[in-house]
Amino acid sequence: MAQIHPTAVVDPSAHLGQNVCIGPFCVVEAGAVIGDGCTLEARCVVKSRVALGRSNVIGEGAVLGGKAQHLHEHQPGGALVIGDNNRLRENVTIHRGWANDAATMIGDNNMFMVGSHVGHDCRIGNHCIVVNHVLLGGHVTIEDRAYLGGAAGVHQFCRIGRLAMIGGLAKVTQDVPPFVMVEGGGFTQVVGLNKVGLRRNGYSPADVIQLKEAYRVIYRQGLRWQEVLAILEEQFTTGPAALFYSFLKQGKRGFVQERRISRKATLKLIDPALDEIDDAARDAA
């Protein structure tokens, strides 16, 4: 049975699951679906054509399912579908799809921190972390376990690959390949693999070595783009590095480039033992 605060406004045609808790001054519009075990904290708005899965917690002042911010409006517009076990903090805004048959899709177990915004027709995977005041334009795709630092902005139609880490204040206008780190502060350049994220998510030293080999093909050998794709397709058919080819072959906006390295710089040899020492020292610092 749902627990609804007396000041909340819930349309009779909204569908409420078991053990739903709706806080003070919330608004749930006609036809909205709130799954079992969801909590809506004070002043949430869940608009029509929104479906929430199970056990989501929606923070104060969040607005879910607003119309697409587009010069040409569709009536009634698309949908917003949110999976299970997501945490949306205060004042998060997520817009529904633009066209009547379109949808913005949010997966499971994601964290959207204060004031973050997801534009219309975005696709967000699972276990992603979107930090305070991140802005995602329309049609952005974020793959599983990506991390976007505070106040990063992602241009419409861009893609962020699996386990990529985007620094705070980054301005992303091209696709970001899987497993890489992008520095923030307005520079927005790739600075290597997300080794800490890889380790925390159970990737083995052998996996990291394979990813480094593929990374060098993409960014370090000065190959033509078709040569890069051919090598990735031929030499990296299994393991995590196989994701590079499937991701890169679909690119339409270009890809974020690596930060240029001085000609005098010496690249480290591939040695997992040295990597473990470096990571331990960095974590201790």
165 close to 181: Cβ distance less than 8 angstroms: yes
CA 51 to chain centroid: 19
Among residues 23, 97, 138, 197, the one annotated as catalytic is 138
121 is catalytic: yes
Among residues 95, 117, 121, 197, the one annotated as catalytic is 121
67 close to 94: Cβ distance less than 8 angstroms: no
Distance CA 19, CA 247 (A): 40
Among residues 95, 117, 120, 139, the one annotated as catalytic is 120
Bridge partners, residue 175, by sequence: 255
Distance CA 229, CA 242 (A): 11
Bridge partners, residue 166, by sequence: 148, 182
120 is catalytic: yes
How crowded is residue 238: how many other Cβ atoms within 10 Å of its Cβ?
Answer: 7
- Which is nearest to 125 in space by CA: 136, 141, 104, 149? 141
Tell me the catalytic residues: 120-121, 138
